[in-house]
Amino acid sequence: MTSTNLKYNERLKGLVASLIRETWLTSWELIRITIPVAVITKILEEFGLIAYLSMFLEPVMSIIGLPGSLGLVWATAMLTNLYGGIAVFAALAPGLELTTSQITVLCSAMLIAHSLPIELSVSKRAGANLIPIGLLRLIGAVVYAFLLNQICLGFHIWQEKARLLFKATAESGDLLQWGVELLQNQGLIILIIFSIVLCMRIFRFIGLLTLLEKILAPVLPFFGMGRRAAPITVVGMIMGIGYGGALIIRETSTGKMTREEVFNSMALMGLCHGLVEDTLVMAAIGGKFGGILWGRIVFSLIVTYILVRFLHGIAVKRMRHQV
């Protein structure tokens, strides 16, 4: 074997090792959340409490065309993260007759409003008021999910019965079978994470993330952001609020971004972030890219544009009254 082949094999082994390591680190953090969530969901199901919780969540879920029980999926995602929501989804969805459209609507709502305790704290540290951003994400999620559901129904899009990856939960009382299926679903989640980690490496290598930044950056100044805020916002939209928020916190500490720019940036990121990784997670459980990616981007840009113009109009009126 030549030295070139040896170097190639070493690089390949190093790549595989790093992929496995990153997958395991990510998976372990999520397993610590998803297994307790799955256990709690099973307890609620055994005692018939899912139906009672669904009664409280049903009004909101009915607005967006989903069964009330799926409200527990979204609520879990909002309080924990997308994988916590997936754990509840894996437990509940196989027992429901869902269409591809309904899963796409649910995934879209989860993508806009999830991990709120953590992500809203990042927004606050970045300098954006917590309550307006929180309300924007919650109301925005409901409005987009409603519009997407109406479009899907009106044009008969994705109305076929959904094919679910996760196994149905065992009958009540069959705890052994439930445990086996829980482990199988966890294995599937790990496989999803590995696939996403691999895709992210490939996207970085071929320059897709850089291309997305170049496409979006020139557009963002129309949404109340200057040259400094636009690239940072794009990074946050692609990589997520945690990463983008950290960059904005660093910039705001230098005083180079105005309060308006910070708010506009965090508003857009709140509605539309994690465009690659989070979108792939939702696609893995059945969400369609037309709804969870392209529709979400268009909706977020329109809402942010209207919001920026509305706030600018209020500011102008205040200045005129002061004069």
Rounded Cα distance, 104 and 106, in Å: 5
What pTM did the predictor assign?
Answer: 0.81
The answer to whether 34 and 77 have CB atoms below 8 angstroms apart is no
In 217-254, which positions are buried (b, 16+ CB within 10 angstroms) versus exposed (e)? beebeebbbeebbbbbbbbbbbbbbebbbbbbeebbee
What length is written for the chain? Answer: 323
Rounded Cα distance, 131 and 313, in Å: 21
Rounded Cα distance, 281 and 295, in Å: 17
The answer to whether 74 and 145 have CB atoms below 8 angstroms apart is no
Sole residue written with tokens 């990510």: 26
Residues 6+ apart with CB under 8 A from 223: 264, 268, 301, 304, 305, 308
Q: How far is CA 97 from the centre of its chain?
A: 24
| DSSP helix/strand/coil, 279 | helix
Which pLDDT tens digits describe the chain residue by residue (323 residues)?
A: 566 666 667 777 777 787 788 777 766 766 776 677 677 777 776 776 666 776 778 899 999 999 998 998 999 888 878 888 888 888 888 888 899 999 999 999 999 999 888 888 888 887 888 899 999 999 999 999 999 999 999 999 999 999 887 655 545 556 777 777 777 767 777 777 777 677 767 877 887 767 777 777 777 778 887 767 777 777 778 877 866 666 667 766 676 778 888 888 889 989 999 888 899 889 989 999 999 999 999 999 999 999 999 988 887 888 777 76
Task: Give the CA angle between residues 9, 13, 18 to the nearest 5°.
Answer: 150
Sign of the Cα torsion 136, 38, 43, 171 reads positive
